[in-house]
Every structure is written in C-alpha cells, then in structure tokens.
Copies of this chain bind each other. A is one copy, B any other.
C-alpha cells in the first residue's frame, strides 16, 4: 500500500484559477496530500490561502527558496512541488527545487523564453528528478485513444493535421480595467514581461501544438505564422494563424484565438491519414469520431467498445457518464504519482513518459518563439 505523496505548491493562492485546478487534480485519485507551499508573492494572501488549504502553519513559507531549503531538511519532506505561477515565475523556482533534489510539476508554458527553457532542460537532466509539465489536454482518455490508434497505424501515414484553439474571453480590453472580472487572468497574460513573447499563441496555441505532437508524434520541420493583436492597445497577439510542415511531408495548421466571439474553450484536433481520419473536441471530450476511408464514421466513446487500454485505464466510470477537464488533468497527476513511485521503489527514472515532460516544454517555447519570428518576418517559413 502506497502512502499519499506529499505535495508542495508555489502559487495558486486566492483568486488564482489554475492553482485550484492542480489541487483538485492532485486529490481526485487520492495519490497526493498538499502539505506545504507559498501561494502568493503577497505574504498575507499566501498566508490566508494556506489557512484555507489547511496547511500546517510551519509549512507555509515566505518564499520558494525558504521552502526548498527547509523542506529539504525535513524527514517528511515533500515528494514533489507544483509550480503554478505566471510564466515568468516558472524557471527560478523550478531550478531551485530541482537543485535541492525535488521532483517538479510545472504549469505550461515551460518558461518565459527559450533561454530559460534551455537552462531548465539542463538542470532537469543533471538533477535526476522527475519533471512534468501540465499540458493537461494530453490527459484526456480519448486523446490517448487517438494517439494509440495512430501508433497502431489505424489511420495509415498521416497527411494532414488541423488543430485549433479558439476562445473569446479577450475580445475586449479586459486588461485595461482592473475592475473587470477577468482582470487578474488577463493582465499577466497580455504582458510580455510576465507572459513572454507569445500572447494567445503561448497561452493556448502551445496546447494545440503539444496536442498535435502528442497524438501524431509528427516532428515539425518548419512553420509560417501570422500573429495579430486585434484589441487596441494590446501588446501581445490575440490571434494566430500558423501553417505547418512536418518532417514526414505531412502538413497542417494551427489557428488559435482569444477574440473569436462565441468560443469558450474550443480546442479541436483533426488528423487525416491515408486510411482514415479522426476528430476530437475538448468541449465534448468523451467522444472521438473515427472515419475509416470508404466506411461510415463511428463514434468511439470513453470507456466504451473498441477502446485501447491506454485510454480505458485512465477513466473512472462507465461510458455515458461524462468525465471532463478535471479528470483529464488528474490523469497527468496520477501518471506522475506512478512515476514517482517507480523512482522511489525501483530507484529509477522512467526515460519515456506518457505525461508531458521538459522536452515537450522546450518544444513549446521553441514553437512560441518561432511563430513570433516568422510573423515578424512577414510569415517567412522558419525552420523549427
């Protein structure tokens, strides 16, 4: 019987969105207990967040360095720390904890820029610790089903990948009004200092790119991008058109937008091979449309018939009982828990992980920087 893993957290205090998601995800399958953290750069906010979260006051720290240092000295030290701060605050805490021997779960995108990303890769490689990046959409069972179908060549050689991620919550200038409901979320995401070179391409375009890589395992050769900031006064892109050419000869595109009125969280991927095609949409994620060439399409259902175990094993309830975003996110946490136990019990790090790792994160940052590079060169094709 494995005990609950001890989880620490950096960021995610009151008013944050993704921190709460990480906590639910960690709890869902009962692999973790949250025991330590720094929840905000504002000490008072952090402290009252810690209280709400029932953190032992002795394990609420004033900053991440202090936390890393003190946790490292404890017998019952945390097994892993989750970093859920804005992008510019990923690299330093991650490095700090890795250097103290801790495993790390980090929100995406990996870092503020490519320099930081390369730095972080080296630290991870040297550390021998586990590093997971919560590109959470890879945790959806039907995404894993799609990936497995492609690994098993059910679609034949892939020709085309069309991915998109459309939202509309930044259709107006939320970041200009600190009374707006989405102000906190909007302000750092539209600020190059905290978000990096990419706006919507970094916030959500990277999810689409990661999903393509995860499902198809195609390697990108070059891209051509046209980024736009539609909302007056906005510094970063809020819309991106990207054309893709893969090394295999496959082609594709990514459209990501945060001004596409009527779209809530429209992440969609379509993959077309010589023998068949698939369609998946995050907003109704329990189904995968599969269209074998020359036959009627069928609708594969999570936990239903003809589902690979790689997908079935990460669901909790029978087909027809919908699972959602939190369950997909929880699958990443459960993957990481299993990996940590492998390491604890067998002393080894799994070289290849189903959960997104630091190299996926590096690719994401490269993707952001290459799209910006292409776009500023009037959509020149840029080698990846």
* A residues apposed to B, CB below 8 Å: 1, 3-4, 17, 20-21, 23-24, 27-30, 51-52, 54, 155, 159-160, 162, 164, 167-169, 171-172, 224, 226, 228, 230, 239, 241, 243, 245, 251, 253, 255, 257, 259-266, 270, 272-279, 282-286, 289-301, 304-306, 316-327, 378-379, 381
Contact = CB atoms under 8 A, between A and B. Distances in A.
* Most chain B Cβ neighbours within 10 Å, of A239, A264, A296, A325: A296
Given A261-B277, A283-B322, A306 B295 contact: yes
Contacts of A319: 264-265
A322 B17 contact: no
Number of copies of this chain that the complex holds = 4
Nearest to A288: B296
Contacts of A1: 51-52, 54
Given A160-B239, A323-B325, A291 B379 contact: no
Given A239-B251, A317-B21, A323-B326, A279 B293 contact: no
A20 B275 CA distance: 32
Given A1-B51, A284-B284, A324-B322, A274 B224 contact: no
A223 to B, nearest CB: 11
A66 B376 CA distance: 58
Contacts of A290: 262, 296
B241 A251 contact: yes
Nearest to A21: B317
A378 B374 CA distance: 13
9 contacts: A24-B316, A162-B164, A162-B260, A226-B243, A261-B274, A290-B296, A298-B299, A323-B324, A324-B324
Contacts of A283: 286, 320, 322
Given A24-B28, A259-B272, A262-B276, 15 more contacts: A160-B259, A224-B226, A241-B253, A243-B379, A260-B277, A261-B274, A262-B272, A262-B291, A296-B299, A296-B305, A297-B298, A316-B326, A323-B326, A378-B381, A379-B381
